[in-house]
């Protein structure tokens, strides 16, 4: 559906965010350093407030918008509900409880969640690629998904931020961040062991290329699917906190879904191949990026094998969120390499067209966009 005001709002929002973050990142060094935590300037915080306002004061945008509003109204109408009498995570519970108690509306709950999540996304990459990262978060559908998977989007942002502490080998801070992220979505606990992956030994371009093509032939394999289910049940026996996701198995959501593998699927497979091709040269120049490429490649292979199974997809979001990071790195590298500048421009243009198509198709119920006032 074509709605002029919706296109105007989303395109204007993207343009403003990219402009502000470009200004806020001026005078940054040309070399990428993922160990340094970027200090946000006034322009960055202005950008955060703007996106939090657009996300917070939306009306009926996002598949789960109504459910989150209902949950907030429950606190508004029944202020004495305790944590044990509801199913949400501790952090999200108290955000709703506090905002409702001080007399604010549900819009401020959405505003607060958006501000927290985007703050960590802004802090998770070097300033030099922040504008590109924001562009790909929008164009690769994660912005629209964030207005649906509200709680998990926060956890994913914190997880992205925590990667720099894997690079630094600072387990204490990494663990604290994972615990903090679990206050918004327990599923982050499944990927906590990522810290112990031997990233320095895992990158081999040929291995990942072969793995990618092999994975295309193993989609929906009963042996792998049943094995994964048994592993999950074993884990939940040891960690009862994670048993809340067992509902996906018991209510049938683990069963295969009919997913149309259309242009978007093919396009992202081609994007993976492009990232694979250039990853070797980029890692040679920026060794710290190895972690980001390996995590995305792992997620892409998991997606190819288990794309039809919802619980795997929810967990795999923690790996696929590295695609926008890798795209930002690749485009930054290609632009700095004169003979590949055309490729970098082509990637941006193609993704912008995809962004326009997602709005038209109302991805994650993003369209029509309406303000709540």
pLDDT band at 36 (very low <50, low <70, confident <90, very high): confident
- Kindly write down the DSSP assignment for every residue of 92-120, as one continuous string: HHHHHHHHHHTT--HHHHHHHHHHHHHHH
Mean pLDDT to the nearest integer, 161-176: 96
pLDDT band at 208 (very low <50, low <70, confident <90, very high): very high
**Is 5's pLDDT higher than 80?**
yes
Among 13-27, 114-128, 152-166, 342-356, the minimum mean pLDDT is found in 13-27
pLDDT of residue 86: 85
pLDDT of residue 217: 81
pLDDT of residue 258: 41
pLDDT of residue 265: 83
pLDDT of residue 227: 60
Chain segment 224-275, per-residue pLDDT in tens: 656 666 666 666 555 555 555 555 444 444 443 444 457 788 899 999 999 9
Mean pLDDT to the nearest integer, 212-223: 76
Residue bearing the bigger pLDDT, 67 or 311: 67
Neighbouring residues of 89: CB distance < 8 A, sequence distance ≥ 6: 151, 182, 183, 184, 185, 186
Q: How far is CA 88 from CA 84, 94, 123, 176, 183, in A?
A: 9, 10, 26, 20, 9
- Kindly write down the DSSP assignment for every residue of 2-55, as one continuous string: --HHHHHHHHHHHHHHHHHHHHHTTT--SS--SSS-PPP-HHHHHHHHHHHHHH
The DSSP 8-state label assigned to residue 77 in this structure reads: H
Residue bearing the bigger pLDDT, 322 or 1: 322
The shares of helix, strand and coil residues in the chain, as percent rounded to the nearest 5, are 75, 0, 25
- Kindly write down the DSSP assignment for every residue of 120-167, as one continuous string: HHHHSS-GGGHHHHHHHHHHTTHHHHHTTSHHHHHHHHHHHHHHHHHH
The pTM score is: 0.91
> Could you state, in order of their start, the residue ranges of all structural domains in the chain?
4-220+256-365
Instruction: Bin 285: left if φ > 0, else alpha if -120 < ψ < 50, else beta.
Output: alpha
Q: How far is CA 253 from CA 115, 256, 365, in A?
A: 31, 8, 21
Q: Which two tokens stand for residue 205?
A: 């371009």
3-state class (DSSP) for residue 194 = helix
């Amino acid at each position: 559906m074509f709605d002029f005001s919706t296109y105007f709002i989303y395109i204007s929002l993207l343009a403003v965010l990219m402009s502000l973050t470009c200004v806020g990142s001026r005078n940054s060094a040309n070399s990428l350093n993922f160990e340094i935590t970027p200090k946000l300037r006034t322009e960055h915080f202005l950008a955060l407030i703007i996106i939090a306002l657009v996300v917070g004061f939306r009306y009926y945008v996002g598949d789960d918008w109504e459910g989150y509003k209902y949950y907030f109204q429950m606190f508004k109408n029944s202020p004495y509900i305790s944590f044990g009498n509801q199913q949400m995570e501790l952090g999200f519970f108290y955000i709703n409880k506090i905002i409702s108690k001080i007399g604010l509306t549900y819009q401020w709950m959405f505003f607060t969640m958006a501000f927290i999540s985007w703050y960590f996304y802004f802090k998770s990459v070097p300033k030099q690629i922040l504008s590109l990262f924001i562009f790909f978060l929008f164009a690769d559908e994660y912005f629209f998904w964030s207005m649906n998977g509200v709680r998990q989007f926060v956890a994913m942002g914190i997880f992205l931020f925590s990667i720099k502490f894997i690079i630094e080998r600072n387990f204490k801070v990494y663990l604290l961040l994972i615990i903090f992220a679990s206050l918004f979505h327990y599923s982050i606990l499944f990927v906590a062991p990522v810290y112990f992956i031997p990233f320095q030994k895992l990158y081999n371009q040929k291995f990942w290329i072969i793995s990618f093509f092999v994975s295309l032939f193993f989609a929906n394999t009963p042996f792998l699917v049943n094995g994964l289910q048994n592993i999950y049940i074993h884990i939940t026996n040891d960690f009862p906190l994670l048993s809340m996701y067992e509902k996906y198995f018991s209510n049938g959501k683990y069963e295969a879904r009919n997913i149309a593998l259309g242009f978007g699927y093919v396009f992202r497979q081609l994007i993976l191949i492009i990232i694979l091709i250039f990853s070797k040269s980029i890692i040679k120049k920026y060794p710290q990026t190895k972690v980001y490429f390996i995590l995305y490649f792992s997620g892409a292979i998991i997606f190819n094998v288990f794309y039809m199974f919802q619980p795997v997809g929810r967990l795999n979001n923690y790996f696929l969120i590295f695609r926008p990071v890798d795209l930002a790195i690749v485009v930054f590298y290609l632009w700095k390499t004169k003979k590949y500048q055309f490729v970098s421009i082509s990637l941006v243009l193609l993704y912008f067209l995809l962004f326009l198509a997602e709005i038209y198709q109302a991805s994650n119920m993003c369209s029509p966009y309406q303000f709540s006032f």
